[in-house]
Structures are given as structure tokens and as C-alpha cells.
Amino acid sequence: MEQVFLKYIDDPNQHKIDTYIEHGGYQAIQKVFKEYQPTEVIDTVKASGVRGRGGAGFPAGLKWSFVPQNTGKPIYLACNGDESEPGTCKDRVIMENNPHLIIEGIMICCYAINAHHAFIYIRGEFAHPAARVEAAINEAYAKGYLGKNIFGTGFDLDIIVHTGGGAYICGEETSLLSSIEGSRGNARIRPPFPAVEGLYKCPTVINNVETLSSLPSIFNNGVEWYRSHGTEKSPGTKIFSLSGNVNKPGNYEVDLGTPLSYVINDLGGGIQNGHKLKAIIPGGSSTPLLMPDQIDTPLDYEAVAEAGSMLGSGAIIVIDERSCMVWVLMKLINFYAHESCGRCTPCREGTAWLKQLINRIENGDGQPGDIELILDVCDNIMGRTICPLGDAAVMPVRSFIQHFRDEFEYHIEHKKCKVETDYPFV
Amino acid sequence: MQGRNGLPVCVKNMSDNGKEKEQVTLTIDGKEISVDKGTTVLDAATLMGIHIPTFCWHPKLDSIGACRMCLVDVEKFPKPAVACATEAMPGMIVRTDTDEIVKARRGVLEFMLLNHPLDCPTCDKGGECDLQDNVFHYGIDKSRQAFTRRRVIDDQTTDAFDDKRIGPEIIRNMNRCVTCYKCIRFNKEIAGEYDLGAYERGNHTVIDAAPGEQIDNFYSGNVVEICPVGALTNTDWRYKIRNWKAKQTLSLCSHDADGQNIMLWHDQRQLWRATSRRNDDIDDGWICNIARYGYQYINSPDRLKTPLIKKEGKQVPASWDEAISLISKRFKEIKDSKGSVCLAGLIGGNQSVETAYLFNKFFRNKLHTNNLDYRLEYIDLKGSDETEAYNCLYRAPFTIADLEQADVVFVFGSNFIKDHPAINLRLRKAYRKFGTKVYTANPVETKSADISLDEMIYSPDTETAFIAGLIHAIIDNKYYKNIDETKAAEVKTMLAPATLDEAARLCGIEQERIVNLAKVLSEANNPYILAGDYFVASAKRHRTANGMYDLANLLGIKDSNAIILASQANSMGADRVGVRPRLTENLKKTLIDKWGEELPESPGSNTSQILNNSLDEEIDGLFILGANPAMRYPDGPFVNSALDKLDFLVVADLFETATSAKADVVLPLAGWAEQSGAYVNVEGRYQKFEKAQDADKGIKSGIEIIHSIARAMDLSLNLDNAALMHETKDIVDAFEREARDEAKFFEVKQAQIPEHDNYPYRLLVGNDIHHFGYVTEHCPSLMRFTPEPYLEISPNLAEKLGIDEETLVRIESTTGKLVLKARFSEYFEGDVLFIPNNFSATEVTGLVSREGGGWVKIEKLDDK
Ligand SMILES: Cc1cc2nc3c(=O)[nH]c(=O)nc-3n(C[C@H](O)[C@H](O)[C@H](O)COP(=O)(O)O)c2cc1C
Ligand code: SF4
Ligand code: FES
């Protein structure tokens, strides 16, 4: 399969500007400068159908077209490299291996929306990727690709790397903006949407690293080429981070619409030690489970949604028969309770309560009625919060109980796992 | 109108910045309503009388939609929306009563109660707590919480209730916090302070002082008031009385001139607290700490409760009858033997306007003298009360709320946060919400620097040169309006220094900055020039006022937009009812009409002249009502000898003071909360306050005192309280100011700058940020913020002189000496020093001369 992001994954010098140029890098942006008006760039990106890879799958070109051009305020781009959803490590590999691809994508976007300052927000734990991106930016400045009057076009662009302090919530776009502004990483209500009033109250576009990295290929090869990958509504390629009980976990770039089974079995080498598949988290830890009979679901936004889950960030976590689902859910809810920003009541208090309840079931202290209570607490969180973190915490809880209620009931009644297992973590 | 907490409030919709708004019609719970575009669903519902519960919403803060208590159902929205931040849209269909919404509210309340300690019996907020109220109306009666409640304890939480002191007045109990962020938002958005923050994450979030900080900012009391629960309480009120047992009385801040509206909470025995009483015209519902805690002097144990009479050089207790007949006898003697011109009166600027009026009537109409004043600044004018320009600007028809429509505000000689707490906040609001540009020129750096586009610091005593420079810049660059070149050239000849270059050099500010300010002011559509206390206290203020008058005329600045701001709660009232030697023609006429008699003809003396004349033995009898010149007027030794020279001095005050120590008769005076009356604030706004408690039996109000003296002298004033109220109001209403004459220009000449060879540092004297005048040292809460006098010094200068913080420093001028602890200033950068004049223990005025201000040398005392 043709690849965009990982094509040169085996070249140890791909992160260097000369190698990147040798492999055809910085051609797209020069072509854009020469041949396109900013609005034409937006139109082209719209036509390509490329959708946001940060989780929500929102069409990138459409997002850009919301940016008002007449406010007299500066316009900003924030590239989201916070990548904190458990299971996800696709942006990391681009930042480490192919940072110039991101820079070129940022340049194209900034030209289209008329921004002269871009921020790359990188999660605090990503010291090495951040260093790679920083080094790449310095190389680009040295070559005159960034700064004033890029390629003699009169276009100015500065890129600033901002590293986070270790909070998942800062990947959520409004919290990310608060964090760049120097405030606590708290979500803000929308409207106003960032495209209208974002960073420092100025129009701001936020796009994921992978989204922006898709752009050069669209301009190098054309919209038609791009659309020849993936499906009608979900065009292009995407990196899936495969983890869990598979033989060959890793990042795999495939066309959208590729069947899940192909990624798990053909690329990932199937389930460890021939164990039986129990469930799949298809799009990052917040997405509802897919069951073994859904393993042929095509990995595109529509098909996964139809199957009852979400493509999300593309982090596929495979769970086999050895895992106790109460334990797995406990791990997940502990994460979300820990990462709630504390801004809104349902998420702040609700996730902490869910954590207490699920932990007590796991610890053998579960009470009759706990499952109903958990589901009711979920109802009081879902759709009631400022940002989708609350929903993200609730979706797996509901899905786990829906599919594996027996395991929860067993835990409450017998004070131990239903699954008899030699799995080392349970 | 009633506020959400049931208290009466004056609400004005300023969110539209004065402009008419488009209307939108929406439906809430089946009823239609039309509201201004931009109105939230919450406000629209409130207008219809539909109550939507809230926690994190506040009418004067940006909505953050955090608590989720106000969720409503909006047709076509995928999920419930927060009413507090959802704008009303045409055709919107909102429901506040669906099953889903009822469940959502219960859910939020259950979440809030999960870890709430439910210690209502010992919580001061009980009875006025949003959590209690919301649970009462919308909650569930059954708890599903089975886990131990979270307690937030750290090494500074002190007692069984997990309380932690986070400021001189503020106690935080994190267990009770509902994490609405209102406290932090107020601090940041309104006050521009960052001493309070949220730390940690999720349900470990704590509200706490920033590391190494205390919540001691000047507006910090507001965070206690807006906390919806008992998470923030203050030492002032804590554990003293249940709020439903306290009576409420409408009142006003009795200190500065802004006229912040407050509510006094009290019972028979004492005042328990003051809270804000939102008035959008003035304070937007935010009050400064002095308005909040500055009532406490009323209940001070140090209050004077019996008259004192000086016998054989010692003041001894006496009866009221004895005191009054002595006063009457001595005043009569002086009047009969030496004439009315030998009697004089001074009244404090925070006496009610009725008291001030009666004082005026007593002196002018009964004693027949024009020697009276309410101003305690030095006025450097021989033979005149004040200049035309000064008076005109001082009485400008200014309106605080209109500042929101200013595009440029030039603050000239004021530390706003100290002098004018409400104007300060309004300016911050204008800056933050409406993009108003602020420029400042001051003798020292101030807190306003953070909103000032250019903070200019002029050398001491050069404010006239500064304004002359500004006028040069306007004329040189033809920025002027309404006059021609010939006139401009003529105005230029009336200036000294004679060129911009010289003026700029003299005041130590680069020419370009002055030119830039001139340009910005000339290009503005609605510019303001506001002069404050540094301006008022400067010895040559009348010269600078001339410049300000010319400047306003040159730029065609509106009459209401160039003002010298009055300083005290009733300065403007005293001015309007004529407590000063010279009166406007219009006021003269009004008074003659009322009194049916001509006014005395003698020219009359202002404060400065009264003191001078006392020293020269031309004034023999002086009545001082609620003022303390010995502590507040510059040049202490001079004031003391002037008072010593008097034949007969009567002082009525709440406390024994440096001035009362000199008196032949001292009368215990009632405070503002012990009587009803009115103040006229800096805008000229007449506002009433009500009596909250009875004064001690031994204490009389100023009005009673004046009446008794008059009666004893057989000079009946013939005015009962109701008539006095009416007559005073009539006079205030009839007041007409002479408008600025746009064709008139005055000379603007910088005076000789006094020599001060061996005294290299400029000393400024004034109010500490947490004190005002001479009574606040009787307010325990304010004393907790600033317990003692100090020498404020810039860290730079301190380093130069090897002075550490807290070390003792000797300060010396030609007229006096003092030893004080040094304190580093947050703002000062240069060679300027400051000492507060709010503490009776230090005679700061001894260091300051009348004409030359304060020039001192300082020296570190050996640490022994
Ligand atoms: C709790 C939460 C965490 C998120 N974390 C990330 C993240 O780590 N990286 C990311 O790109 N988007 C993340 N998002 C999505 C962003 O809010 C945003 O939608 C995205 O960056 C937009 O870029 P895209 O349109 O290119 O996908 C997160 C959203 C939520 C609600
Ligand atoms: S302390 Fe009070 S005002 Fe501050 S966040 Fe908590 S409940 Fe709100
Ligand atoms: S009042 Fe609307 S979310 Fe708190």
C-alpha cells in the first residue's frame, strides 16, 4: 500500500532537512506559493476530503473556511501534538521520523488561512519528539524556509514549539489554547469557536499533526490521487496504532476503509499465542468496544460508527480472552478520573465517583445495585460537560457493561474475576 | 428592583456599551419574550420571572459554563445547553422544566454534595448559600454517597473544620468549595490580581493563594461575598451572628468620594459587616476593602463618650450642658469683643451633606463669618479661595459609568486604586471590555501600569511643566481644534517653559512620549482627562489646573470629560452647599433666597488662611467638626503652633486625635452609621444613607451639636431634621456650575522648583492602600492588612543605600525626623519614598513642608 507518513520510516536521516528535500520535500509548499491563491488552497483541501485525524474527523478545509479574514486581528494556527489518548502513538512517529512533513503542512495551512504564527503543542512527556521538531524548525529557519519572506514570496511565518506539562486535557483544543496562553489547561465553552475567537481571542485553527502532515501529499500528487486512497467519505491513508494482545504491535499506515481484521491479523500477526479474541477498542481508549464478530469492519469513519463505535484517533487496542473486563475498565476509568481538568462539575465529580465505584467492584467490595448506580452516574455525565472528556470517560464504561455485564455481576457476587487467567497483569 | 439574592439593587444594562440593540424573540417554557440581541437565555428567563438555578454565573463576570447547574433544553440542540452562556436567538425554543433537565440538575447537585461536608450548622454562609438554596429547590432527598467524603488538608489547615487562612482576612475551607472559579475570575478579570489560583486537577482541584502569596489585594473582600458557599469566609464576620438574625440597612462607604453603595448588617448592639449593594452606575457591585471593613471604627472601644473640657491645662470629663454653655459663652465673647471675622469653622469631608449645610448656615447666617472650609489640602493662594479653572474642573459633570464609552483616558496625578476604587475598576472594565486606551502621568509608578499604554513618571513638582509640554506638543503639531493659528500662537506665549523641549527636559519625560499622548488625545472621539489625589495635593495645583483647562479647550474635550476628582465621601456635597469662603454667584443667590438675609461681607478664609490667621492671632475661636488637621495637613509643627495660638478651640470627633488634644472643649461625635443623611459623591450624585444603630448616650451627631451651640447662643437655626433634609436637597439640586468657557485660556507657568540640596529624596505622604483618613486605624480588619506605618521605598533605592526590608530607617527633613521600618514597594522604581499618614502614632506631616512638599534624607539605623 502507498504510504504518506511512514514511507521513509526506515531511513534514519529522514528527520533531517536535506534528506527530506531529497525525498521530494518542500516541493508542495513551493508549488502552493506559485500556483495557488489562499482560497484555492482551501478549496483544494476541501475537494480532497481530508478529515481531522485528532479524533473527531472534521473536514479540514471546511474548518479553515470558518476563519474570518476581516477582523483586523492576527490569525493563528495551533498544531495539536499532545497525543495523550491511551493507545495512540501515531503523531509521535511523525514528529520523530518526519518532522519536516509537519512543518511543510503547517506552511500550507498558514498560507491558506493567512496566519503568520503557528504553535506546535507537544505533550510534555515527548521530550525526544519535541527535540526533533525543534531541530527541524531550526533547520528550516536556517534555510530561509521559515521566518521573513519565505521563498521570496513576501510571506512571513514563525513556528513556536510549546511543550505541555503532562495533562491529557491539553489535547482538547480549547484547553490547549488556555495552556499556550499560560493559563491552567481548562476547557472553555463553545461558542465562541476557536476559529472565530481562539488563541488570545483571535481566530485560530487547531489541527492534528497527522491532519497537517497529509497536506503536502495532496498538493504533490493531486486531489484525485488522494481520493484514490480510502473511501468516498473517508479519503486518504491513516496511521493506526495497534496494541494489546497482538503478536506484532506497532504503527501501521493503511488506506482508510481497510478491514480491521487486515490490520490485526495480517499486519499485526494475529492474537498472541493463538488466544481467543474477546473485544477490540478501535479508536483510542474512549471509543466503545467492537466485538469479535465485528472484526471485518472497514476502518473508516462511517463504517466504524455504524458498527457502534468510533474511529477516533485510530488506536486499536486488542483484548483477548485472558483479560478481566472489570480490571480493564478500572484502568481506563482511573485514567479519565485522573485527567479530568476540574472545570465542570459532572466530569470532575462524576469521573472520580465512577473511579471509586469501579475500583470497589474490582477490589471485591462491590455492592448489589452498583452497576445501576454506575450507569445512572454515566447518564448524569454524558452530554452534560464542557468538553468531550466526560463523554470519553463514560463511553467505555457503558460499552463494557453492555457487553460484559456478567463479568461485573460475577465480581460483585463472588468478589473475584470471572475470567480464570494466567494473564500477568490481572 | 430586587437582585437574585432578594436584596434591592440598581441594575442598568451596560453590556451594550450605551448603544441601542436589535431585538430577538424567543420562547421559554411556552411563553414568548423579546430581548436585546446578545442577552443570554438565563437573563431572558430571569426577566420573565423564570428561575434557573446557577452557581458559577455572575452578572459581572464572563460566563464559563463550569458548574452546569443552569442546563436547559433548547429545541434542535443535540444536548442540553448552559443558559448562562447561550445567547438568545430568534425563534429559539427553550424549556427549563423537562424530565431531562430536572434529572440533569439533580445530577449536578448530587455531584456537588458528594464531597460537601454538610457542616451547615457551623458555616457562616448558612442561610445565604446557593448550595442550600439550590438543593432545597431542585435537589434530591436521598444520598447515594457511600464513600468517605474528601477532605482537603495541608500543613496549614488549622482546625477541626479544615480551615486555612489564605489572607489577612480570608479563610478558605476547601471541603465546601463547589469549584465555580468565581473567586479567581473576579480577581483576574475585575481586579487584575493574580494572588489567587486553582491548583491540582480533577476533583483534587484546590483554590489557594499563589505560592508565597496572600490574598491581600485591595478588592479581596469581594471573593468572600461572591463565593456561593462557605468556602471563603472572612474574619470580620465569621462565627459572630447568623445572617438571618442581622438587620440590614442601606448605606454608603463613608470614606472616599466614589460613593460605593453598601449594606450594613447589624443588630441593636453593633454593626457586624458591610456587603456590596450593587449600583451599576457606580460600583457594579464590587466594593473595595475600605468600604467593606471601614465601618468597624463605629464600634471601636476607643470611641469618645463624654465631652472633655480643658481645666488647668488638662482635659477632664464634663457634662454636655457644661461643655455647650462654655462654647456658647466663649464664642459670644469673641464675637462681641473681636468680631465675627475672628471665628472660623472646619468640617471633615465625610460629614453628611446635611451636617455640612447646617454648619454653613450656622457660621454664615448666625455667626456672620465666611471663615469656613472642608478641604484639608494646602492651598497656595493668597487672597483667593481657588482659581476659576480649578473650580470649573473640580465641578465638572462627570459620570463614572460613562467611562465605558471613553476611547482614551488620560490619568493625571492619581493612584486610582487608592484614591478612587470604583473609578479604578470602571477604568479596568473599560480597558478590558471596550478596549479603552489608558495613559498615565504620575510622580511614581502605580498599579495602573498594567493597563496603561504609557506610564509617564514626571520629576517631583513638575506637573505644570508636563501639562505645558503637552500643550506645546498640541500647538506645534497643530493637533488643536476650535481655534485658529493666531490664537494658538498666543496660547503658546502663555506657557512656561517656553518650548516642548525645555518642558520635557524639566519633567524628565521624552518629547516623543508627550507628543504621542497629545496625538492620541487629539485623535480620540471621546477622550477623558482625570486628575486625582497627587494632583490635588501638589502645592501649585492651581497652575496645573490652568493647563488642564487649556488642554481641554484646545482639544475640544467635553465638559464632563475633564475633571479634578474630589477626595472624600462628601467633599462634593460640602462644596455644593457652600462650605468654603467664596461662593458662586448662583449659590449666593440661592442662600440669600433661603435665608432671607444678605451674606456676611468679609472676604473669608480657607483652611490654609484660617491656620495662618490663627498663628497671627487674627482668628481666635475655631470649631473643628470631624476633621484632624494636626494629622492630615502638611507641616505638622506649623499646624500645632497655629492651634496652640487659638484662644478657644472646639473639636468634635469620634476619637481623641492630635487635633482634639489641643482643644479647650472636645465633643464626642456620632459616626455616619449612627444617623441618616446623604453624601454627594465625586460625580455630584446625591445618595442617601440610613441610620443603622443608635449612638451611645454620651454621643451626639454633628447636627445636634450645631443646634445645641446655636440654641445656647440664642441663635435658633429653626430647622427640624426633615426640614433640614429638604432644604439641603434643594440647595444641592439648585447648584449650578459655571461651564467651561471654550474660548478662554489661562497662563500655564511652572513655578520655581524648591531647593532641597541636602535632602535628595522626594517623600510622598498619603493614604495607605488599606487605610483612609484618620479613622481606619480603629478598624481591626484593615489593621490586619497594614498594622503600622512604614517607609515605602523602591528596591533599587534600598539596594543603593544598603537598606533591607524590615530594617529601621531614619528619615529626616528640614522640619522633622522619624524612624520607621522600610518596606519594599511593588511598584516604585525611582528615588521616591512614601509614608502613610493614617497612623496617629507617627507625625508624618512633620516631614512635609506646605509649599515644597516632602524632601528628605534617609539613613539606615545600625541594627542594635
Ligand atoms: C479530552 C480530549 C483530548 C484530546 N486529545 C487530542 C490529542 O491529544 N491530539 C489531537 O490531535 N486531538 C485531540 N483531541 C481533539 C481536539 O480537541 C481537536 O478536535 C483536534 O485537535 C482537531 O484537529 P483535527 O481536526 O485535525 O483532528 C482531544 C479531544 C478531547 C475532547
Ligand atoms: S472558593 Fe467559593 S468562589 Fe472560589 S471556586 Fe470555590 S465555591 Fe467558587
Ligand atoms: S451557571 Fe451556567 S454553567 Fe454554571
Q: What is the CATH number of domain B385-564?
A: 3.40.228.10
List, chain by chain if needed, residues with CB within 6 Å of any ligand 1 atom. Answer: A 52-56, 58, 80, 82-85, 169, 171-173, 206-208, 211, 387-389, 392
Percentage of chain B surpassing pLDDT 70?
97
Q: Are B286 and B428 in contact (CB under 8 A)?
A: no
- What is the spatial distance between Cα A102 and Cα B651, in angstroms, rounded to a whole number? 80
Report, as an integer, the average pLDDT of B101-119.
96
Report the candidate in B203, B121, B251 with the shortest Cα–Cα distance to residue B691: B251
The answer to whether A178 faces chain B, any CB pair under 8 Å, is: no
Q: How many angstroms separate the CA of residue A336 from the nearest CA in chain B?
A: 9
Which of B199, B203, B204, B434 to mutate to test binding with chain A, by most A CBs within 10 Å of its CB? B203
Q: What integer pLDDT is reported at residue A422 of this predicted model?
A: 66
Q: Which residue has the cell 530561509?
A: A144
- Residue A299 CB neighbours (<10 A): 26
> How would you classify the pairing of strands B677-680 and B686-689?
antiparallel
Shortest-distance ligand to the CA of residue A286 = 1
Which of A186, A190, A335, A343 to mutate to test binding with chain B, by most B CBs within 10 Å of its CB? A343
B153 C-alpha to ligand 3 centroid (Å): 28
- What is the spatial distance between Cα B130 and Cα A91, in angstroms, rounded to a whole number? 45
Q: Does the pLDDT value for residue B9 go beyond 60? A: no
Which of A347, A348, A367, A374 to mutate to test binding with chain B, by most B CBs within 10 Å of its CB? A348
Report, as an integer, the average pLDDT of A353-358.
98
Specify the DSSP element, H or E, that contains A225: helix A223-227
Q: Does the pLDDT value for residue A153 go beyond 70? A: yes
pLDDT tens for B51-92 read: 999 999 999 999 999 999 999 999 999 999 999 999 999 999
Would you list the domain boundaries of chain A?
Answer: 17-227, 240-320, 325-414
Q: What is the CATH number of domain A17-227?
A: 3.40.50.11540
Q: Does the pLDDT value for residue A359 go beyond 80? A: yes
Q: Does the pLDDT value for residue A254 go beyond 70? A: yes
Report, as an integer, the average pLDDT of A88-105.
97
DSSP E strands, A196-343? 204-208, 237-244, 250-255, 277-281, 315-320
Q: What integer pLDDT is reported at residue B39 of this predicted model?
A: 96
* pLDDT tier for residue A424 given thresholds of 50, 70 and 90: low
Query: Does residue B205's CB lie within 6 angstroms of at least one atom of ligand 2?
Result: no
Report, as an integer, the average pLDDT of B546-555.
97
- Chain A residues whose beta carbon lies within 8 Å of the beta carbon of residue B178: 345
Nearest CA to ligand 2 atom 3: B227
Q: Is the dihedral of CA B64, B69, B75, B77 positive or negative?
A: positive
Question: Cell numbers of B290, please?
Answer: 475600605
| pLDDT mean across residues, chain B | 94
Question: Cell numbers of B474, please?
Answer: 498640541
Pocket test for ligand 2, best of B232, B233, B234 (most atoms within 8 A of CB): B232
Tally C-beta pairs within 8 A across A and B: 97
The answer to whether A53 faces chain B, any CB pair under 8 Å, is: no
Out of A35-39, A317-321, B18-22, B384-388, least confident range: B18-22
Report the candidate in B767, B624, B844 with the shortest Cα–Cα distance to residue B257: B767
Query: Does residue B642's CB lie within 6 angstroms of at least one atom of ligand 3?
Result: no
* Cβ-defined contact of A384 to B79 (cutoff 8 Å): yes
Q: Hey, is A204 helix, strand or coil?
A: strand
- Chain B residues whose beta carbon lies within 8 Å of the beta carbon of residue A188: 64
* Cβ-defined contact of A345 to B203 (cutoff 8 Å): no
Specify the DSSP element, H or E, that contains B820: strand B817-824
The answer to whether A35 faces chain B, any CB pair under 8 Å, is: no
Q: Does the pLDDT value for residue A88 go beyond 50? A: yes
DSSP string across A52-90: -TTTT--BHHHHHHTS-S-SSS--EEEEEE---STT--H
Q: What integer pLDDT is reported at residue A371 of this predicted model?
A: 98
pLDDT tens for B696-752 read: 999 999 999 999 999 999 998 989 999 999 999 999 999 999 899 999 999 999 999
* Cβ-defined contact of A350 to B80 (cutoff 8 Å): no
* Cβ-defined contact of A346 to B66 (cutoff 8 Å): no
Task: Give the right CATH number for B761-860 from 2.40.40.20, 2.102.10.10, 3.20.20.80, 2.60.120.40.
Answer: 2.40.40.20
- What is the spatial distance between Cα A300 and Cα A282, in angstroms, rounded to a whole number? 11
User: Going by C-beta distance under 8 Å and a sequence separation of 6 or more, which residues neighbour residue A397?
Assistant: A329, A332, A333, A354, A358, A374, A378
| Nearest chain A residue to B109, by CA | A345
The answer to whether A359 faces chain B, any CB pair under 8 Å, is: no
Q: Does the pLDDT value for residue B19 go beyond 80? A: no
Report, as an integer, the average pLDDT of B226-246.
95
pLDDT tens for B596-617 read: 999 999 889 999 999 999 999 9
The answer to whether A351 faces chain B, any CB pair under 8 Å, is: yes
Give the up-direction half-sphere exposure of residue B45: CA atoms within 13 A in the CB hemisphere: 28
Q: What integer pLDDT is reported at residue B10 of this predicted model?
A: 39
Q: What integer pLDDT is reported at residue B13 of this predicted model?
A: 44
Q: What integer pLDDT is reported at residue B8 of this predicted model?
A: 41
Among candidates A169, A189, A349 on the partner chain, residue whose Cβ is nearest the Cβ of B114? A349
Report the candidate in B123, B138, B111 with the shortest Cα–Cα distance to residue B227: B123
Q: Does the pLDDT value for residue B234 go beyond 80? A: yes
Report, as an integer, the average pLDDT of A370-375.
98
| Nearest chain B residue to A341, by CA | B202
Would you list the domain boundaries of chain B?
Answer: 385-564, 761-860
* Cβ-defined contact of A167 to B181 (cutoff 8 Å): no
Amino acid at position B565, single letter? L
Q: What integer pLDDT is reported at residue B379 of this predicted model?
A: 86
* Cβ-defined contact of A384 to B69 (cutoff 8 Å): no
Q: What integer pLDDT is reported at residue B396 of this predicted model?
A: 96
**Atom nearest to B65 CA in ligand 3:** 3
* pLDDT tier for residue B395 given thresholds of 50, 70 and 90: very high
Q: What is the CATH number of domain A325-414?
A: 1.20.1440.230
Q: What integer pLDDT is reported at residue B841 of this predicted model?
A: 87
Nearest CA to ligand 1 atom 29: A172
Long-range contacts of A247-250 (CB under 8 A, 24+ apart): A247/A271, A247/A272
Q: What integer pLDDT is reported at residue B863 of this predicted model?
A: 60
Shortest-distance ligand to the CA of residue A60 = 1
Interface of B with A (CB under 8 A): 63-69, 71, 78-80, 82, 85, 87, 103-104, 106-108, 110-112, 114-115, 144, 146-147, 178-179, 181, 197-198, 200-205
Q: What integer pLDDT is reported at residue B59 of this predicted model?
A: 95
Could you name the CATH architecture of A240-320?
Roll (3.10)
Nearest CA to ligand 2 atom 6: B177
Nearest CA to ligand 1 atom 22: A207
DSSP class of residue B121?
G
Query: Does residue B68's CB lie within 6 angstroms of at least one atom of ligand 3?
Result: yes
A171 C-alpha to ligand 1 centroid (Å): 5
* pLDDT tier for residue B1 given thresholds of 50, 70 and 90: very low
Amino acid at position B295, single letter? Y
Question: Cell numbers of B676, please?
Answer: 441618616
